[in-house]
Amino acid sequence: MVDELFFTNNTAKNLLPIDGYTVFYPHFLGKSLSDKLFLQLKESIEWRSEEIKIFGRWVMQPRLTAWYGNAGKTYRYSGIEMKPLPWTPYLLEIKNKVEKQCDVSFNSVLLNYYRTGADSMGWHSDDEPELGKNPVIASVSFGAERLFCLRHKKEKSLQVKLKLTAGSLLIMTGETQHHWQHAIPKTTKPIGERINLTFRKII
């Protein structure tokens, strides 16, 4: 289980000054493997363009998404319900590597495909009830590098920013989802496509 002990036994340092544990491994997957997986995921995943409900209005999500996992692990957020597609061999290969690093087993993965810099993810916490208290969220990135921002919910001056590079692994755990929000902001820079996988354990 990823906890305080995990971090004291680990070389990666906690990025958060208070109220949670988040660590980053910039070179978790090698370049040739992450390049290969980017193309494979882009072509083989059943990407969907979904509408979500924000403040009572249905709007198109500014990215493509997919949900894969064990049968029955349905995910509900922002007014939509996603039934999982079955694991593919490539997703299982990535999941196995991530599980070894985290020492946790995951039963589902949310995939996001950011087509251009106009695609983004607004401020949120991964705090849906089905994730339980203090979930371990393991996020693997492929393709173009994007900025990832964290902000403390109460202490608004506390912000952490990092670049999620291809082949990187970010692990958020402890009280991170309780006290912090995260986002992938839009950018006007000409930027390539990016795919992100967040492995989760639905209870």
Ligand X SMILES: O=C(O)CCC(=O)C(=O)O
Nearer to ligand X, 83 or 163 (CB): 163
Report the residue number, 40 or 107, with the smaller CB distance to Mn ion: 107
Residues in 124-183 that interact with ligand X by CB under 6 A: 126, 139, 148, 164, 182
Q: How far is the CB of 8 from ligand X (least distance, A)?
A: 26
- Grouping H, G, I as helix, E, B as strand and the rest as coil, residue 159 is strand
Count of residues touching ligand X (by CB under 6 A): 11
Classify residue 173 as exposed, middle or buried by CB count within 10 Å of its CB (0-12, 13-18, 19+): buried
**Beta strands at 121-124 and 108-114: parallel, antiparallel or unpaired:** unpaired
- Please identify, using beta-carbon distances, which residue of 129 and 190 lies nearer to Mn ion: 129
* Residue placing its CB nearer to Mn ion in the complex, 99 or 126: 126
Distances (CA, A) of 4 to 10, 67, 137: 10, 30, 15
| Residue 33: exposure state from Cβ atoms within 10 A (0-12, 13-18, ≥19) | middle
Q: Which is nearer to ligand X, 99 or 126 (CB)?
A: 126
Contact mark string toward Mn ion, 105..134, x via CB under 5 A: ---------------------x--------
Which of ligand X, Mn ion, none does 173 bind, CB closer than 5 to 8 A by kind? none
Residue carrying structure tokens 């906890």: 3
Cα–Cα distances in Å, from 109 out to 73, 118, 153, 179?
Answer: 10, 23, 25, 23
d(Cα 48, Cα 64) in Å, to the nearest integer?
5
We find the least distance from the C-beta atom of residue 6 to ligand X, in angstroms, to be 21
Please state the closest distance from residue 53 (CB atom) to Mn ion, in A.
17
- Residue 27 one-letter amino acid: H
Residues in contact with Mn ion by the rule CB under 5 A: 126
Residues in contact with ligand X by the rule CB under 6 A: 110, 112, 121, 126, 139, 148, 164, 182, 184, 196, 198
